[in-house]
Amino acid sequence: MESNRQRKVAQIIQEDFAELFRKQASESKQSILVSVSDVKVTADLGIAKIYLSIFPQEFRSAVMKEIEENKPQYRNFIGQKMAKQVRIIPQLNFYLDTALDDVEKLERELRGEGDNPVL
């Protein structure tokens, strides 16, 4: 069960990264949408798991690779934002959120458009 403190820290991280990725997308020449779908923080506030949705799909691996390479800069960014609110800046782990893809695939299967035959 998540504590109030965990929820607050997760919300701060989610809002700050959403704003950062929005700014990066507006400055980029490519039209890539990176949204922060969820943030989970461990009980000791030492690790933040950040789930990202990236559209269009063909850019996912490149964007995730770039995010992984820039992890120290992102931790520095979040450290500056949260410096007065927490003692320890959490380690950042980024994950690709494929929940929407799974729902879309399931809906296609139910319509009979996938590998599942319509009876």
Asked whether 42 and 5 are in contact (CB, 8 A), the reply is no
Q: What is the pTM of this model?
A: 0.84
Q: How far apart are CA 61 and CA 16, in angstroms?
A: 22
Asked whether 92 and 74 are in contact (CB, 8 A), the reply is yes
DSSP letters, 78-100, are: HHHHHTTT-SSPPEEEEEE--HH
Tens digit of each residue's pLDDT (9 = 90 or more) over 12-38:
999 999 999 999 888 888 888 899 999
Tens digit of each residue's pLDDT (9 = 90 or more) over 64-114:
999 999 999 999 999 999 888 888 899 999 999 888 778 888 888 777 777
The domain locations on the chain are 4-111
**Position of tokens 């701060």?**
12
